[in-house]
Amino acid sequence: MTTGTGTVITYREAMKQAIREALASDPRVFVMGEDVGKYGGCYAVTKGLLDEFGEERIRDTPLSESAFVGAGVGAAVAGMRPIVEIMTVNFSLLAADQIVNSAATLSHMSGGQFHVPLVIRMATGAGRQLAAQHSHSLECWYAHVPGLRVVEPATIDDARGVLRPALACPDPVLIFEPNSLYNMEGELTGAAATADLSTARVRREGKDVTLVTYGASLWRCMAAAEQLAAGGVEAEVVDLRSLRPLDDATILASVRRTRRVVIVDEGWRTGGLAAEVAMRVVEQGFYDLDAPIGRVCSEEVPIPYPKHLEDAALPSVERIVTAVRRTMGDAE
C-alpha cells in the first residue's frame, strides 16, 4: 500500500525489512534466538527469513537465554555481527550476566582492544494481555549500565532505520521493541535513513508544556496533546528514542521553551527512567522551570492479565492530561 510520499507498512514489517537488508548486505550478519527460524519469531518479525537465507544465517537456539546471548557475545568479539532476539525483556534477565558482566565490560576491561558489536532485540511493555512475566518495561535497568547503548524506536521510520547504525556500532546495542506497536501501521519515509542511536526528536511542537516520553507511550502523549490543544494548552512532545545515552540537549531546549515538563514512562515510578530525566532537568535547567516536574508511570504492581486491570496499570491519555493540567496549575 502506498501513498503520495511513502509506503504504509506495519512496525513489524519495518523491523523485518531492516533485518533482511542487513543480512543481504553483510555476510557477517546472522540472526539467532528462540523460534526465529521455522516459527518466524514470537512476534513474526523474522517470518520467512529462514527460507531466504538458510539455517546458517537464521539460527533457532535452545531455550537458554544465557547460552545463546553468550554465544552472540563470543561471535561479536570474533568479528561477526550477530542479531540476537530475546522473546521479551523479562526473559533477558536470564542473560543479564552475559549482557551486563560480559558484553558491556569487555571493551573497557581490555583497554579498547576488544569490541562487542552485538545487537540484542527484545519485545517490551504491556498492552497485549500477556501477564506479569511477559509485560514489563525494564529498559531503565539496562540504561543504568555503562558500556551498553539502549534504544527504543516508536515510529515506523525508526523501526526501519535503527538497525543499520546499531550493527555499525562497536558497542553492544539493545533495541527494545514495544510489543503493542508491532501491528501499528504508518508511512515509511526518507527519515528512516537518518535514524541514529543518540538523539531525541520533537514529535509535536508546543509552547505551554513539554511531554517527555519514549516507546508506546509516545502515541498516548500525542493523543493527550490533541486533547489538551482543544482546551487551549499546546504541549510539545519529545520522543527520547535513545535511553542510553540520553539526549539532554533536546530535552532541556524544549523545557526552556515551555518552562513546564511532564515525563511519561511505562516503567515503574520508583527508581525509574522518569526520575533520571527529571533529575537531569533539575540539575541543568532548574531556573527554567515555572512549575514542579510531573511524572506519569505504570502503577507499582506486576502488570495484571485482565484487560481492565492492565489498562488501569499503564499510563493512559486521561492520566497524562490530568498531570499536565496539574502542572499548569489547574484545579483537579
For residue 215, is pLDDT > 50? yes
Q: What is the pLDDT of residue 2?
A: 41
Residue 134 catalytic?
A: yes
Nearest CA among 300, 280, 142, 268 for reference residue 210: 280
pTM value? 0.95
**Angstrom distances, CA of residue 74 to CA of 35, 67, 102, 190, 278:** 21, 11, 10, 35, 37
| pLDDT at 272 (0 to 100) | 95
**Order of strands, sheet of 294-298, starting from the edge strand that comes earlier in the sequence:** 201-204, 235-239, 209-213, 261-268, 294-298
Question: Among residues 13, 34, 65, 152, which one is catalytic?
Answer: 65
In angstroms, the first-to-last Cα distance of the chain is 45
Contact 110, 74 (CB under 8 A): no
Distance, CA of 200 to CA of 248 (rounded, Å) = 9
Residue 104 grid coordinates = 558491556
Q: Which of 34, 134, 152, 310 is catalytic?
A: 134
User: In this predicted model, what pLDDT tens digit does every residue of 14-25 receive, in sequence order?
Assistant: 999 999 999 999
pLDDT, one tens digit per residue, over 138-168 is 999 999 999 999 999 999 999 999 999 999 9
52 in catalytic set: no
Domain architecture of the chain: domains with CATH = 7-194 (3.40.50.970), 201-327 (3.40.50.920)
